[in-house]
Structure 1
Amino acid sequence: MKLSVSETSKLMGVSVRTLHYYDEIGLLKPSEKTEAGYRLYDGNALAVLQQILFYRELELPLKEIVHILSQPDHDQKKALTNHRALLLLKQQHIEDLLRLVDETLGGNENMSKGQFTFADYEEAREKYAAEANARWGHTEAYKESKRHEESRAETESIDMMNESNSIFEAFAKYMDRSPAEPEVQALVKRWQDFITRHHYCCTNEILAGLGEMYVADSRFTENIDRFGDGTAQFMSEAIRAYCAK
């Protein structure tokens, strides 16, 4: 049995646009195309897509995945061993960044007043970036890691931006409702899941802090209120209700 591109998208959890892009760059060709030009995918194509998604989960760049899949004699073990080193480097990056944020949280008397701002976070992040560059900047692994970050497919960034915008638009649309209504609370869950998928594990505790930041920091407020005046405040109230459950 062969699946259409929309059926494949739903089954495998990737966007139709991503499948089209994979076809364009030669990463995943459909099993066949109908006379009308519709893409169809069989079991073999789905197996290849599963491999691609595995490598993407490891954050290998698309160019490297194309190389791995197109070279039967490619040393997969060596590629994964090298990438493991990059994952360890990233793990250290996250641990150090968390340490810096914890230090900021622990040493700032304004924390109890909800005054931890985006600027504080950016300062901590930039401090780490400087430390990481000084510590690992000369290593090939660090250079490769930077190349990997810079080579992320543009289509994925666009998809992520469109998804976040649609969530903000939905919050703006629901502003005439109670923040505690089920539909609004489902939207908060959708936002929490979005952050977890694309950025970091967003626990209720972290989400509650973000909700406060959306109204405490004018930069967050102004950005969210582009979708409608008061959206940031409504979103913050909805998050507060969600985290109070």
Structure 2
Amino acid sequence: MAMKVKEIADLVGISVRTLHYYDEIGLLSPEETTDSGYRLYSNNNLMMLQQILFFKELGVPLKDIKEIISSSSFDQHEALVRHQEMLEKKRNQLDKLINTVDKTIKHMNGEIDMTNKEKFEGFDFSHNPYEEEARKLYGDKAVDESNAKVKSMSKDTQNEAQEEMTRIYTNLASIRNTSPESNEAQVAIKEWFDYLNHYFGNYSLEAFKGLGQMYVDDERFTKNIDQYGEGLAKFMCEAMAHFADINK
């Protein structure tokens, strides 16, 4: 039975505007549009919308989802099996992180003792969800070198890198309302530049500037970075661009 756009929006829990946008970009077009302009969605449309939302949940950009589901080789059943595998892996990691948070709270309350190693259980450095974008921007060689460097890290070094990253992000978040071109901001962003080059390979000034731009162009980056403070991604983007420009 065909359903109107408002019915679909209410059923799924997304906005009518989102469905209109999916139609505009050719991601999900209704089976039929009536003479009076009503969009009518079929059961096949619903199944495809489910696929789209699964891909979104796994952090795949809309432009990539469109390319995937438009491919002649796309198999919905096979995709569902892969979704299940990846979501179960994601759930397992989240369970470990939740357990780490719980133990950390108890440790801070003096209820249990916690080793430094236990403080970082659940963090996964083996997979980079932004690798495809990085390859497009910087090429396979740069990304492969970075991956090799990460894989060669000991667990202690990985923990050290995580702690240092948190410290730098926290510091940047504390000054995000200042000018990104200020001396204070530039000193702080240089720490980020040095950090990336120390732990993850050779970042040129151009690559550093491009990475900063990705922080605001890719909503996944923005969301993750802004957890430290709203507007941090934009602040870092501007500070990184200025740093690259004045150090050429």
Range of TM-score over shorter length: 0.3 to 0.5
Q: Which one has more relative contact order, counting CA pairs under 8 Å at least 6 apart?
A: 1
The normalised TM-score by structure 1 is: 0.41
Looking at secondary structure, tell me which structure has more helix per residue: 1
